[in-house]
Structure 1
């Protein structure tokens, strides 16, 4: 490998680093700054919104359950005031009457005390790949270890009062299924009847139709709300490419993402638990998301609403909440009025999310899945993998197929790049002669080299393209493997039972033959080693650099990358190894076609016998 090739490779590596730096500078940092500014402006925005709505009640205030766990069981005698008694999940579920929920994808129950949806277990997903692993628990009631629930209702000044978190509703059936909605009713002291029809589909969507039958003597004005509340800060991955926490799309404001720390900081800056407020949003949704699951409130997409991201630190642990408040509804005596809202509670499957966005007209609901800044590359990458997985029944094979198709797509560019590199190797003796002839005149040396490139029709930076082409593909595939639930627990062959997890084998215990566990730092499996070998072979196909430092860097780079990628998802390492193998075949073919010697065997012989490399010269 001549000096120009060395410069090209180093330039390609530097450009890949610049992608990370550029993303952080132009996107990550501005986003953090915008969030900080939003937090500082939150209080004034809230006051302005309140002034516009005059005395309109807001979710979380006195007239509706504040995010303070008002339905938590009272502290026993001698306990600290305001500290909830933690029960087992089973005991908390048994504390109140319930309507059972049963669909193809989930089981759980609806709490008749407060009409909360606070018990959801996902049938199709387990904690790990073991057959006896527990199913994923998404929502849990207050009183349990990790309360997480959704609630709907009304706020306003109504004679006889409104139903709240302690109101006991009556149900017309004891089980909710996709074929059998449940109707809940509650009547206040003034004779106003509140009814709620709860329907569910086979996937993850609840439809909530709230009605108010005004049998009082005067008209009443009520405002619909919906909220998702989570008690305590859950454990998160904390990786910058993935958002976990509060999320929503609020009309023209677009996507809003707040980590749990973001909301806590906003609360401390503004001195308010109310976070950030936007008024009069048309279209959108708010909720709380984990890596693979989410619970989101979806208000009526045709009428304005307010949305908030809040936290209350008044108890022994923070309570995070997202809520929406709809327009006021004035109902005359003897009349009935109502509103329809929805709750998504389940796994973030791409087809399901996209289907809801199309069928219900939910504004940018697909952003519930964190496709990232390179959305335009990441999502098509997923669709391609999902298509071939449907054909062959294996996401790992789909990765191999997509890699081949990408190679074919970029074949003209890669061929041109490799051909240019081959030409540079062919004129290497003349390049060395120019450098020796003008070694004391750098400017003249560069001029002569550029004339040589022009005369031989060589692009000196063409060698960067094979590396640069891989960068966006690598990022997109990494993102798909990291965030899409379809890749979770997706097997390949043999020991790879989860393409989204690292290769579980390790060379340090002979890939499981020795009976001891290897520390995570030293877990270097079969596929990372294969990737390192293919990278090593690809680099050894070219002449070794004369500079000893460059030679050491290029010699150890495959080893460094082997250890570095050992902790990456196995699917990504399989892609890189397969891509390297195809690149070796392609580069070897082009080098032979242009009559350039392939240095692989000579370089290996030198490595084994520890011979010193000969100076670059004419090749026979």
Structure 2
């Protein structure tokens, strides 16, 4: 196998890794592209209807949440879910580090919360619950097996209830009820939304979407924070809206999601907005048809709130059990999702078998090598054939150097005569490039790989190698990356560079003298490039290079044995007379 082809495939893979998401357009990337398809909100909220995020309280009344996978509280002043911590996830690999908080309390500088309520129909003067409303609770605590009812009486004949329940994972069920004891019918429109009152630092870069996200009418919508700010217009501060049936919408980070899920049979209007005075991004749903509560009657609507980790299998389960359309798309598998998802499920199955994602990764690489072995063998044979005919090709180029057309014809005839396909040597490696890309996406975007340990000093396969040769692997008490982010070079990237150098030494290629310095520098270039990538990917490449060398040795032995065997020439067929 020609080392130049290996390096070519690596370079192409790196270019795909860096440039694919940058150049490929995203759905609903800018609000201007979709404003022509939007629909208006059913009823514009009044100042009384529209809760503001600037309100602050020193000692708000709270309903504690103590569930299996989450802990936190509900702010009874406004009935906001604004304090939620995940029991199973820490901020760092250290076991004593703080737990991950997906919803922030109101008195924090950077609040993120979920709220739900009602809008009044135009022309009605009804006192509705807002951010100042103090709700009463039926129980002292909300738990996985202990639902709670929040109640508020507006003093004018309407009683509002919110039935809250939480499962053993991250899904809340919210049933809003209005009991009408007045003598006239009341028309109300329900809403639910996720609010983030700050602009976060996006850690995913170009490779993963972070920000407003939705699936409405089966179409994925991904907006940037900037597009919401630019598209927001007073008085409703709506940047984008779309009517549909069911769906889900929320705000996503790399690993975490807060989303509202309406009744999948109800017609709703999904909205993205930016409340400019409050500096708050709002993503959620508003009912398209008012619910009418006749005198002495009751109306109700049920929705759900997901606030937690984007665990792939959990999202898939909610999708099937609750009929939430394309809920798995909260994980940004990218445009190659049809390949990336199977790669994830294979890795996850191997992890369930071995109990270690590092071992699963090594086994996955071995499987990929076995699958592509026939193609690799064919590529080696093609490369060997190209080397065999190289002197004759040189002779043809010298002979027809003044006639390029004739030279190309003669070269093609030589290829045909010898049964050589010049592209077949590169093709097997290029076919494997999507596997590399899918593996990179899986390591980068799935929470299952976050803080997944391997052996030794590797405690997180999704992060770069934490060791650094520039401080003698921790012997010197300083962090070189504080000087420059490029001063990061761990042990595994160094091992990766050594494997490239070994491949060059074991399989020396005939290189143009002008290109020789480039090939000499290749191990160093890729060593520094991979130093900033997830260490799981570096381990994959180290193991892949070692397997490639072993595979090449096996193929060379098989090729040499076949070449030394006497050629068996079949006897010519006797020519018979026609007729």
| Partner Cα distance (1:440, 1:7) in 2 | 30
Answer yes or no: is 1:123 the counterpart of 2:87: yes
* TM-score normalized by the length of structure 1: 0.84
| Partner Cα distance (2:200, 2:19) in 1 | 29
Correspondence list, 1:404-423, <5 A: 404-423=366-385
Answer yes or no: is 1:535 the counterpart of 2:500: yes
Q: 1:612 maps to which residue? A: none
| Partner Cα distance (1:204, 1:236) in 2 | 23
Paired residues of 2:5 and 2:426 also in contact (CA < 8 A) = no
Q: After TM superposition, what 4+ stretches of structure 1 lie above 6 angstroms from structure 2?
A: none
Which sits farther off after the overlay, 122-131 or 464-473? Answer: 464-473
Q: 1:480 maps to which residue? A: 442
| Partner Cα distance (1:328, 1:288) in 2 | 26
Taking structure 1 as reference, are residues 11 and 228 closer, same or farther at Cα in structure 2, changes over 3 Å only?
A: closer
Q: 1:28 maps to which residue? A: 25
CA offset digits 1:3-31 (Å, max 9, x no partner): xx858965884687478666654x32786
1:514 is displaced (CA, Å) by 3.4
SS of the residue 1:522 aligns to:
coil
Q: 2:357 maps to which residue? A: 395
SS of the residue 2:34 aligns to:
helix
Q: Out of 261, 278, 299, which is 1:337 matched to? A: 299
Paired residues of 1:414 and 1:465 also in contact (CA < 8 A) = no
Q: Out of 117, 122, 127, which is 1:161 matched to? A: 127
Answer yes or no: is 1:221 the counterpart of 2:187: yes
Q: 2:281 maps to which residue? A: 320
Q: 1:259 maps to which residue? A: 224
Q: Out of 62, 67, 85, which is 2:47 matched to? A: 62
SS of the residue 1:579 aligns to:
helix
| Partner Cα distance (1:507, 1:19) in 2 | 26
CA offset digits 1:342-401 (Å, max 9, x no partner): 000111111111111111001111111111111011111111111111111111111111
Q: Out of 429, 436, 445, which is 2:398 matched to? A: 436
Answer yes or no: is 1:294 the counterpart of 2:294: no
Q: 2:73 maps to which residue? A: 109
Q: 1:457 maps to which residue? A: 419
| Partner Cα distance (2:438, 2:473) in 1 | 30
| Partner Cα distance (1:524, 1:543) in 2 | 27
| Partner Cα distance (1:579, 1:129) in 2 | 27
1:153 is displaced (CA, Å) by 1.1
| Partner Cα distance (2:139, 2:395) in 1 | 91
| Partner Cα distance (2:527, 2:373) in 1 | 27
Q: Out of 209, 215, 230, which is 2:196 matched to? A: 230
Q: Out of 482, 486, 489, which is 1:524 matched to? A: 489
Paired residues of 1:121 and 1:135 also in contact (CA < 8 A) = yes
Taking structure 1 as reference, are residues 120 and 9 closer, same or farther at Cα in structure 2, changes over 3 Å only?
A: closer
Taking structure 1 as reference, are residues 127 and 567 closer, same or farther at Cα in structure 2, changes over 3 Å only?
A: same
| Partner Cα distance (2:6, 2:313) in 1 | 42
After superposition, the CA RMSD in angstroms is 2.5
Taking structure 1 as reference, are residues 272 and 98 closer, same or farther at Cα in structure 2, changes over 3 Å only?
A: closer
Paired residues of 1:218 and 1:333 also in contact (CA < 8 A) = yes
Correspondence list, 1:109-188, <5 A: 109-157=73-121, 160-188=126-154
Taking structure 1 as reference, are residues 29 and 219 closer, same or farther at Cα in structure 2, changes over 3 Å only?
A: closer
| Partner Cα distance (1:129, 1:30) in 2 | 34
| Partner Cα distance (1:8, 1:382) in 2 | 25
| Partner Cα distance (1:330, 1:491) in 2 | 55
Q: 1:373 maps to which residue? A: 335
Taking structure 1 as reference, are residues 173 and 192 closer, same or farther at Cα in structure 2, changes over 3 Å only?
A: same
Taking structure 1 as reference, are residues 440 and 12 closer, same or farther at Cα in structure 2, changes over 3 Å only?
A: farther
Taking structure 1 as reference, are residues 372 and 546 closer, same or farther at Cα in structure 2, changes over 3 Å only?
A: closer
Paired residues of 1:481 and 1:499 also in contact (CA < 8 A) = yes
Which sits farther off after the overlay, 286-295 or 584-593? Answer: 584-593
1:405 is displaced (CA, Å) by 0.8
Q: 1:53 maps to which residue? A: none
SS of the residue 2:426 aligns to:
helix
Taking structure 1 as reference, are residues 411 and 31 closer, same or farther at Cα in structure 2, changes over 3 Å only?
A: farther
Paired residues of 1:100 and 1:109 also in contact (CA < 8 A) = yes
| Partner Cα distance (2:506, 2:412) in 1 | 26
Taking structure 1 as reference, are residues 464 and 593 closer, same or farther at Cα in structure 2, changes over 3 Å only?
A: same
Paired residues of 2:31 and 2:228 also in contact (CA < 8 A) = no
Structure 1 stretches lacking a partner, 5+ long: 51-55, 74-91, 597-620
SS of the residue 2:361 aligns to:
helix
Give the structure with the higher percent helix: 1
CA offset digits 1:485-511 (Å, max 9, x no partner): 111111000011100000011222332
| Partner Cα distance (1:373, 1:238) in 2 | 16
| Partner Cα distance (1:546, 1:439) in 2 | 21
Aligned length: 555
Paired residues of 2:13 and 2:433 also in contact (CA < 8 A) = no
SS of the residue 2:412 aligns to:
helix
Q: Out of 496, 503, 509, which is 2:465 matched to? A: 503
Paired residues of 2:204 and 2:254 also in contact (CA < 8 A) = no
1:451 is displaced (CA, Å) by 2.0
Which sits farther off after the overlay, 8-17 or 153-162? Answer: 8-17
Q: 1:37 maps to which residue? A: 33
Structure 2 stretches lacking a partner, 5+ long: 562-579
1:306 is displaced (CA, Å) by 0.4
| Partner Cα distance (2:411, 2:111) in 1 | 70
Answer yes or no: is 1:448 the counterpart of 2:410: yes
Q: Out of 445, 468, 473, which is 2:430 matched to? A: 468
Q: 1:306 maps to which residue? A: 269
